[in-house]
Amino acid sequence: VLSGCGVYDGTEIHEASAVLVHLSRGGAEVHMYAPDVPQMHVIDHSKGQPAEAESRNVLVESARIARGKIASLAKLTTADHDAVIFPGGFGAAKNLSTFAVDGKDCKVNREVERVLKDFHKAGKPIGLCCISPVLAAKVLSGAEVTVGHEEEEGGKWPYAGTAGAIKELGAKHSHVDTKNKVVTTPAFMCETELHNIFDGIGAMVKNVLKLTGK
């Protein structure tokens, strides 16, 4: 499930690519989805600033990553899939929810909430990375997730504050929540080399596929 195209206003592209590579390596058949809604705003990534008087659609932007093979999130059903994975990027906190603005009091997009609850109820695994675990923390009571460390540690964990917000939502930090079948990895929440992020996402994907029992 994608949230746009670009780390500051959509899906983090490296994370989405890593998820797709590891799913391909694991022999999975992949379908991509995104909500058909306007983005919260558009960021000029060369400046890191909002682009004034510009609007974009989350589904249309996500299609860039999906190479056009994407459908509205409203069409995603548990009956047709064994698992669901949400890459990170600020789109998860801006377009899939209002976490970027409202923190622990955020609202989650109704289709995102439906998907998370449906997969959880069906006992099918849910993978999330970077900031997207806030979605599960908000929607799935008692879910165990990780977004990294609670302390900034001299710049290594620049988004450490997110961990505190997740704790306030009642979620715990872990990597594989076997009870709820929720698998998470910090990805770019940590300032580390790209290959470490790629490997962490690989571990998440591997555990998601393992939990499908196929």
Active site residues: 130
Q: What separation in angstroms does the CA of 188 have from each of 2, 108, 131, 192, 203?
A: 16, 22, 9, 8, 15
3-state secondary structure of 107: coil
Distant-in-sequence, close-in-space partners of 48: CB < 8 Å, separation ≥ 6: 8
Strands (DSSP E) found in the chain: 32-34, 43-44, 49-50, 70-72, 84-86, 126-129, 176-177, 182-185
